[in-house]
Amino acid sequence: MRQVRASGLMRRRYGYYWTRIVMTVAAFGGVWAGVALLGNTWWQLALAVAMAFVLAQLAFLGHDSAHRQIFRSWSWNEWTSRVIANGLVGLSNAWWMLKHDAHHNAPNQETKDPDIESRVLAFTPAAAATRRGFRGWFARRQGWFFFPLLTLEGLHLHVASVRAVLGRRPMARRAVEAPLLLGRLVIYLAALFVLMPPAIAGTFLAVQLAVFGVLLGGAFAPNHKGMPIVTADSRIDFLRRQVLMSRNIRGNPFVDLLMGGLNRQIEHHLFPSMPRPTLRQVQPLVREHCERLDITYTEVGFFSSYRTVIRYLNDVEGQARDPFTCPVAASMGR
């Protein structure tokens, strides 16, 4: 951290973020203009894909703002994230932040990381061992269903957000988030069915949600799935907890755009408030530091990461055949 701060890598990148915010919001408006101009034609489905891509980019900006990456001001970051998530994307910012903060605090740790808890997929050997009958059959082949299931992730995120803002559990700024979120969802649906015939509007919505789910799920999943699972009672220092459970994805500017910068997951977990474009610059420092301490730093190719995830999901229960190896002990040797 001393090296990073001395090199100025934590400074805000206002030009980068303002440009990206303005261009993405303009693209959002441009897609709606295209929808209005095209009218009654199945070419609207091409705009559904474009809409999904723009909404994913907005979600990444909301993620960055929630991590205090954009502005120095805490309130500016909070409100930017809240407006983008609830008002434009249709996701509850407060619900997502509660879940995401828990993930950052204990990535891949049983009972503590909500990202490895699922009623559909079994992400840990303990979860896979409890599946019987059809669920057991599915758990042994779930890797092949991973991408098809991602097409439902967009719908799941919207449903979970609505349940959160309408639920009884304590929630920050519910009085603000509920009208923003529900208003956005109602206006979005109404606009689709006003501007297009019902059949095209319904198909547009299905395609947009499916592609949106694949884009978001495909950006988050390969960063941790298939990396070491930590038992609930393990005590691991911050550096190893964030590096050993995370995987970086090599790529190019297109991969950076597609994954919202989350392909540099190790650096993001070590410096959550670091601006997205700076993660590439800090990567050599992090890699060198890990080598000096003999800590495994994992980076793989884009397609290789998904192959690893699919193989892991198809043999989650098999991960328990070998005795649990503490990642800290493994990194330190005998």
Average pLDDT over residues 12-32: 97
Quick: pLDDT tens for 102-150.
999 999 999 999 999 988 999 988 888 889 999 999 999 999 999 999 9
Q: Which residue has the tokens 């509660």?
A: 98
Cβ neighbours for 216, distance < 8 A, ≥ 6 positions apart? 56, 59, 153, 154, 157
Domain ranges across the chain: 2-320+327-331
pLDDT of residue 324: 47
The pLDDT of residue 330 is above 80: no
Q: Which residue has the tokens 């998904």?
A: 306
pTM, to two decimals: 0.92
Judge whether 71 and 150 are in contact, CB under 8 Å: no
Quick: pLDDT tens for 74-94.
999 999 999 999 999 999 999
Closest Cα partner for 233 from 111, 126, 148, 333?
111
Quick: pLDDT tens for 211-235.
999 999 999 999 999 999 988 888 8
